[in-house]
Structure 1
């Protein structure tokens, strides 16, 4: 045939062929352009079924005029051998481009958007391709995608044949019944949709599933559904979830994985409903990716803005906390999970709500909170607290970046989607160092049966995720027998801690939950945290402290392994001056969890209040050696500042610069403690404007170091503010730093605050003796009286320690 002239086409060379046709390159002698001629093979030219299918390809394609669909010029016949004249394309098929390796992400999104656009054009004409696969997608030399081979095309059932017309107005006829017998599958096996594999009626959504398979192959270089036999492939398509994309290609954006996952939904109603919808998501992702590249930034988790300062101050209350949502305060920041030499640090990021239902916006936080709580009961896992993970709540968060920021070995992510009347929760764990998925699980439950979600989630985590992370699952965690109590608990988890209104709402919801289910240990623990917040920051008082204590005690009675509640009780005792009881509980905590960074940290906290600085430092170092990535250990920097070990103090401060200050701020504090006020003045002058307002540098410090007016008014204000605080340590620390910055001008209020701190059992005799910056105060009789009282306090604490230690040997 090469060299022959057929109609007004001169055949130049053979390009290739398949079961339904042979393709030649030819020249259109009338228009002087190159074309591709596709001939039906001679052995099929007289087969009416093959002929109808061949002609249907021409009619279907010619009805479409779109840049991403190969243009058909005409259909003709040469001596009873029909052929199609179509656009000649230079380039290669997508099949040749995807040869066991993934495409570049940007190229993939560009081609994917074009293919979706072409499918949308076909579907809008009522034409379903039914054989979308890489071999039927051509990529030109200029990077333009073209959909080929409409040989299996069929008019969608919702569009009558008379509604679809060719460019010349001729109606496309189908005649499909005799070409596809009931129950016969049409299409290439590995790319078939579930409904196609079952021989069911098809609509445009079958193409979207096949397109999802193509995208998966473009993203990973491999097929999502594979098997040694046709039956095995069918079984995968119908019943099995594909391997997570990120496990095969760590470069895959989360949003792209979501798009492909939605296209591969086996349930038609949950899958993308139109190519236009899929195209929009791909275009949006492409735009966002390009914007990030142009701005020179990789999409990462946003940092907390300055409006969240109060939250972070609140988060500094020296409580070691389970990685649960409640009670993340200044000294309540380490997780209650054990940390050993083989300990695994885990960060659970807020889940994504993909349902489009704003009424379910509470679930992403609540479910990630539940996952963290369950994991916290595994002794070998250290779960990063929600206060550190909540900033990674946006859809474009990179789990690898988050994991490195949080010094976590594994990051757990998840999403919530609707499947008809059901909710589907998908979770996966990513190994940060090796860029691979170590575990993936999906749970589907009826939307109205949240208690089933609670049970299935806990069960799958204990049997699947915990072992995958190298842990040993224990009991405990979020459990309720009352579905309404569980829902109230979940909604409370999503209620803000940042403001009085949100915290009060959380209290109301948790009170209702505990009334419905009095044995709901986790709800009691969170209620304790909420009451503590109200007492500390939102106008509460002793009544709220007592309610916090009562709720924590109830939680521990119901769940002896509730580390969060245990630590809350220790902190309440310490801040209330009950050092003996606090020491007993902290010591027991260490005995129960000897390899836990949390237990050693909370013991160091009690020891610092008792004036045993060397022992406190030893426990701090032990905690740091067990988990050097836990920023909840940051308050140990107070221990080392009082000891004069400024280098070690700075190392603990570096765990959370937002709370403890940046290195220049730490150097300034060290200079003040050393007693060199003039050097401190110079250091303060070198700070940036933002650094001058960091949390450790209270207004009085800046005012005094710059000799600003109004120091007396500031002094009165901060004295009243600090004196109202139940916790004695802030009184001592702020008074000490004020004196070191301001000198004798503030000696009277400083001594009053120190006296009050010691009266509340802050036994700081060693700090009073050691800190060089306090030297000028030591000659004052008031100081001597304070020191004597601190000495008695410390001696009483040491006597109790010795008694307890002897009794337990």
Structure 2
């Protein structure tokens, strides 16, 4: 067995020792991995000889079990005590966050923060005190604050465990050290004098900590140890309000009452402190009886210079031997190397089904906030919404989505008060363990700031490093008109349904949002997307409106990734401005690295330029971000077709059909892949599925007409052409589609005639000219190269 100070790489029980964190008079502390429960823990190896025999270990175990039963959300838990090869060790919770000591290096905190920290700590102390346990070492170094402000008390009862019982063999110095285990500035008079203590000694320490948090200074701060001891025993603390004039009378009184020399004159329970701090924090009113600030002079036996010097000596020992190992608690959550997560649909707690639009909207916006972080892959809305109302084990969902962690939670929209409450929890997908949770409540006007705060906190929990630009994006979120925002969320809700009627409803709500707040940029993006996607208006009418609205959105807020994606699409399909389009797609991805649609559109763009290796990589990213969505999956199939990788295309199309067996896009792509391989009968079968046995949608006939032509079934191909021609008299049919069938039939002149018409009309389908295998029969013709040159392809 290795020496206690050299255990890294060894195991104690089922704990694998990872690294040494610190050491002190009470042992050596390690970070370790619990191989049974798959979590990081703290292992504290006790000093050799601290427990001499089985009887001593039995007593220690009994007391450790008592401490382990101390179950409170604000107290770090003791998990286990064990012995291996005469090495005794405690196993404790590994806590995430920053110590209060570290926070105070920047100076005093606000009164609101002081009250919040004090209230949580007091509740934790009260939980322990009612069971007869006293902390004895309450100080900023033993108070951990999570990124969300959650408090955890550390080292509860450790000094008591190590000093109790006659079996413990100590030197005289070590014994005195354990009696003075608390750091001196926070120790109560009775602790310093070696008198019996109860929970009220912790209350004195609470006063010292609150004083320091509120003022940035200690209540007793003499430069010498004897002077410091004298101040704690005999001198009243200067009112904290004389140092920080902004302190309320209520908080001032609470602090001074905690710091009374006589325990009988302090609060008699930590619960009383918590109650009073809550009142001060919520309404500034202090309800407990107010005592005058007269110093309490208690009759004590006189302290000789020798006695004070001895106390100072042993305290000095404690300064150097205690506290160092507390650093084992300093650190982030045990979750590490998290690179992907999914935000599952938040639960609607509003008791109103009509609020589903708001709940879905909050889910999407939280996804978007997290997606701003480049080192994190966040699954897109389309994929996660498929799990709404689905009761599957979270590890299974995580496997299906290919993520490390799951974010779940709930939303309550209190419409009359215009307040929103969101509760989120971070779950380790592998173990189904709740890593972190927090509730937030804000005005609806501050909902964007709320979402960004949640994103920042999650990033801190999973150890994701934010770039300076990402920090800025997650901090510079302004307020929003709540009515405009609700109208926008209703628009997004209808937009997600995808039918023509739902898209019209979405347009109506987006219009309402900009009427309510003409400066609300996201709603203009919604309008732009409607006009870009609609087939109810001809492109020459719809596209200028889409451009107008997206430019308005970007003029108001140029950090909207959706807007840059839409503008990129317009510049790509309508302007054929390849350079500008690429800049917009890259800008969208820079702003929102997990924007699946931006990655998909950029892939289509790259394919059109013949940069097929890049396109395949980009569509792979889109699929990873939206693994349950059909659109990126189907696009991947077409990308393989353009690369003439037909076997991969067929495989991809079959995956798409697993997502949606009725998918027209997947069958169409599969038919094209079979055509590429010369499997004409299989291609015809797939194209018939697309056509659906009907000519109601002439666009769905193009693949079938092409398959008939290549299979030598000319009459049937010309029949399809006739149907398309007839349909074009009452409905816009892109000219490029006619050229495809003519090319397959060998009608080169007609094919080029339709291509010229497509060029004149800026037909969006013409952007695929360079890579479309349907154009292969025309590539040897000089007219084809000349057309590519005109398009700058």
- TM-score normalised by the chain length of structure 2: 0.47
- TM-score normalised by the chain length of structure 1: 0.46
